[in-house]
């Protein structure tokens, strides 16, 4: 199960401690060999971005989340620390220009490797408790 | 960027053509070495399941989706065919019993390798066009 980079995140935030919980305006630059995979992406108002959080500690199983003081399992939080450090964030797709996707906000740092782009489907993806 | 299995999907569906678009009742069996990572997972009504879709063709960049007749890039569909065949499905967490998570429905086949479990956060994950 080996992953291939398909793009890269660009924004103004490099040090992790400067990232805000809900992210910052960002672009995703898709690698040229994957241009065909973007066909009709602009029909979607929102997309999912999956990224490889290389600073995520893979051997930590419990953490105290930013917004609490109680220990939780890493499968019960969205922390980058997890056995497979795949980050998952949805964003509004503002526009596409060639290989570049303009997003309203992403909480991935500048230079983060992108693994996948998926369309957001409200019928699949919206839930309320 | 190498992935580690963290669990496995169990349900009644093995041949891909028998899977319904919105999935079937399923369990996810977490591997024993990741039990600690489940702490407090049951506080969440819904979770994300990320899985490795091993039958996904990695070198296909455009497909005609099930629900249409127009060619689309794989980043504009939720097809298993994509450079990194990571499936993303949300489900209601009905209960946890030890290492087993009971889910209302998943569209992954029986035996699929699970890569990650994340809590569903409406404030992050709900969007409407």
* CATH assignment of the domain containing A111: 2.40.30.70
The residue-averaged pLDDT of B63-84 equals 91
Domain range enclosing B50: 7-17+24-56+92-125
Alpha helices in chain B (DSSP H): 122-125
pTM for this predicted structure: 0.95
pLDDT of the residue at B65: 85
ipTM of this predicted complex? Answer: 0.94
Could you tell me if B107 and A123 are in contact, meaning their C-beta atoms sit under 8 angstroms apart? no
Calculate the alpha carbon distances from A129 to A67, B44, B93 in Å: 19, 8, 10
| Residue A100, both tokens | 């570049």
Average pLDDT over residues A99-109: 96
**B119 assigned to some structural domain:** yes
Domain count, chain B: 1
**Is A70 among the domain residues?**
no
Most B CBs within 10 A among A43, A58, A84, A126, hence the mutation to make, goes to: A84
What per-residue confidence (pLDDT) applies to B67? Answer: 75
CB-based contact A75 B46, cutoff 8 Å: no
A34 and B61 in contact by Cβ < 8 A? yes
Mean pLDDT, chain B, rounded, equals 94
- Report strand pairing: B113-119 vs B46-52: antiparallel
Cα–Cα dist A112/A10, whole Å: 8
Using DSSP's 3-state secondary structure scheme, residue A42 falls into: helix
Q: pLDDT band at A36, cuts 50/70/90?
A: very high
Note whether residue B66 is domain-resident.
Answer: no
Q: Which of A41, A45, A127 sits opposite B129 (nearest CB)?
A: A45
Q: Do B39 and A71 touch (CB under 8 A)?
A: yes
Assess if residue A65 is contained within a domain: no
């Amino acid at each position: 199960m080996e992953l291939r980079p398909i793009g890269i995140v660009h924004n103004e935030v490099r040090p992790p401690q400067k990232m805000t919980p809900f992210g910052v305006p960002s672009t995703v630059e898709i690698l040229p060999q994957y241009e065909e995979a973007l066909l009709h992406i602009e029909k979607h108002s929102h997309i999912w971005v999956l990224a490889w959080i290389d600073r995520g500690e893979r051997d930590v199983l419990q953490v105290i989340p930013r917004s609490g003081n109680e220990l939780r399992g890493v499968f019960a939080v969205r922390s980058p620390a997890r056995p497979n450090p795949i980050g998952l964030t949805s964003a509004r797709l503002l526009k596409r220009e060639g290989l570049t996707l303009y997003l309203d906000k992403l909480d991935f740092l500048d230079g983060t490797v992108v693994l996948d782009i998926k369309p957001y489907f409200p019928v699949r993806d919206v839930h309320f408790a």
